[in-house]
Structure 1
C-alpha cells in the first residue's frame, strides 16, 4: 500500500511527463536546425522514436525508484509506535494497580489505627 501510494504520488508530480516533453521538443528543435539533412518522414519517425524511447526510459527510472524504495524506516516507525502504545498501556495498568494497593493499604492502616485507639480507650476505661 505504501509503495503504491509513493509511486502514484511520483507519477502525479508530472516529472516524467516533463522529461518526455523536454526530450520531444529538443528533438523537434534538432530536426528544425538540421532540416536540410533529413526528409520530413525521417523527422516524423525520429520524433516518434525519441518520444517512445524517452517514455521507456522514464518507466525504467520509475521501476528503479520503486525497487529502491525502502520500507525498513516505515516499518521501524510503525514498530516504535506500536511498542510505545504497548508500553504506555502497561505503565497505565501498573499505575492503577499501585493506586489500588495504596488505597487498600491506607484502608487497612486506618482500620488498625481505629482498633488501636479503641483498645487504648478500653485499657484506659479498665484502669480507671
Structure 2
C-alpha cells in the first residue's frame, strides 16, 4: 500500500514525462541541425526510437526507485505508534485501577472511623 502510493505519487509528479519530452525535443533539434546527413524517414524513425528508448529507461528508473524504497522506517514508525498507544492504554487502565483502590480505601477508612465513633459514643 505504501509502495503503491509512493510510486503513484512519483508518476503523478510528471518527472518521467518531462524527461521523455526533453529527450524527444533534443532529438528533434539534433536532427534539425543535421538534416543534411539524414533522410526524413531516418529522422522519423530516429525520433521514435529515441522516445521509446527513453520511455523504457524511465520505466527502468521507476522500478529501481521502487525496489530501493525502504519500508523499514515506516514499519518502525508504525511499531512505535502502536506500542505508544498500547502503553498509554495500559497506563490509563492502571490509573483507573489506582483510583478505584483509593476510593475503596477511603470508603473503608470512613466506615472504620464511623464505627470507632459509635464505639466511643457507646462507651
Ranges in structure 1 where 5+ consecutive residues have no aligned partner: 124-128
Q: Looking at CA atoms only, which structure, 1 or 2, has the larger radius of gyration?
A: 1
Task: Give the TM-score, by structure 2 length.
Answer: 0.97
Corresponding residue of 1:58 = 58
CA RMSD of aligned residues (A): 0.7
Task: Give the TM-score, by structure 1 length.
Answer: 0.94
Q: What is the rounded CA distance, in whole Å, between the counterparts of 2:33 and 2:104 in structure 1?
A: 94
Q: What is the rounded CA distance, in whole Å, between the counterparts of 2:19 and 2:44 in structure 1?
A: 19
Corresponding residue of 2:120 = 120
4+ residue segments displaced more than 3 Å? none
Q: What is the rounded CA distance, in whole Å, between the counterparts of 1:7 and 1:102 in structure 2?
A: 55
Paired residues for 1:1-128 under 5 Å: 1-123=1-123
Ranges in structure 2 where 5+ consecutive residues have no aligned partner: none
Q: How many residues align?
A: 123
The CA deviation at 1:94 is 0.4
